[in-house]
Amino acid sequence: MQTEPAFLDDIRQTNLSYLMLAQRLIRADRSQALFRLGLSEESADMIATLSPAQVMRVSNCKQLLCSMRVDDNLVWTLLTNHGKTSSDNVTRLHANILMAGRHEEASTARTSSTIGTISSD
């Protein structure tokens, strides 16, 4: 009998933590949750209504449910140079502005594709 690699348990734990955090954020401040987690309205609705048993079942998948939102070299550079420059607050602000812009672009793209799908029906 072959045992699963240890990282699969780490993935399950990460999924569980992510879903629990997402539910808490969605219930506390939906608009902030959408922004901070990069979720669509539909995903937020689904996550918010999951029962504890469903959260456990969904978190047991072998794929990460969340993804890295920072996929830009400029943002990584700004984030990793934290504390190395005299304008540290400006650097963090710049990184946050870039990431917020990426979230807005993704939201607009999701809305456009949804509208396109609805109008083609």
In tens, the pLDDT along 91-100 reads 666 666 666 6
Same domain, 78 and 120: yes
Residue of 70, 68, 61, 71 whose CA lies nearest to 15 = 61
Domain of 105? Answer: 68-121
Same domain, 4 and 50: yes
Same domain, 72 and 62: no
Long-range CB contacts for residues 30-33, cutoff 8 Å, separation at least 24 = none
pTM for the model stands at 0.65
Q: In this model, does residue 35 exceed pLDDT 70?
A: yes
Name residue 16's amino acid: L
Same domain, 40 and 75: no
Structural domains counted in the chain = 2
Same domain, 11 and 46: yes
Mean pLDDT of 71-86: 67
Same domain, 48 and 61: yes
Final residue in a domain of this structure, among 66, 84, 110? 66
